Amino acid sequence: MNFWFRKNLGDAMLAGESLRKIEELFESQYGKTDCPKEAAVFIRHESEGRLHCEVEAYFSPDSIAVAKRVDADPCARPTLDGLSLLTGSEDSWRVLFP
């Protein structure tokens, strides 16, 4: 079974450094261009009724090397609602969410 991975980056106002770190790790692992279409990191701002939202990063199964470097936890594939691509190929949308 191909697991996705999830990392809570905390308050959206303070998540910028963590997001940059994930992008740098991803680019060092897969390169800035021509990365595999199956490797991508997505993010979503989630509030669950709270005043402030938190940023969740979702790593595709082929991004396991990066997910492990940031201690992400296994999870189910995220839903598309509010999801945006942080890093990876734009083609990953159609490959990972057919």
Please give the Cα distance from 76 to 17 (Å, whole number): 25
5: β partners: 59, 74
DSSP states along 30-81: H-SSS--TT-EEEEEEE-TT-SS-EEEEEE-GGGHHHHHHTTPEEEPPPPST
**pLDDT attached to residue 49:** 60
Is residue 36 within 8 A of residue 95, CB to CB? The reply is no
* Predicted confidence (pLDDT) per residue in 40-97, tens digit: 999 998 776 666 788 999 999 999 999 999 999 999 999 999 999 999 999 999 999 9
* Predicted confidence (pLDDT) per residue in 13-38, tens digit: 778 899 999 999 999 999 877 788 99
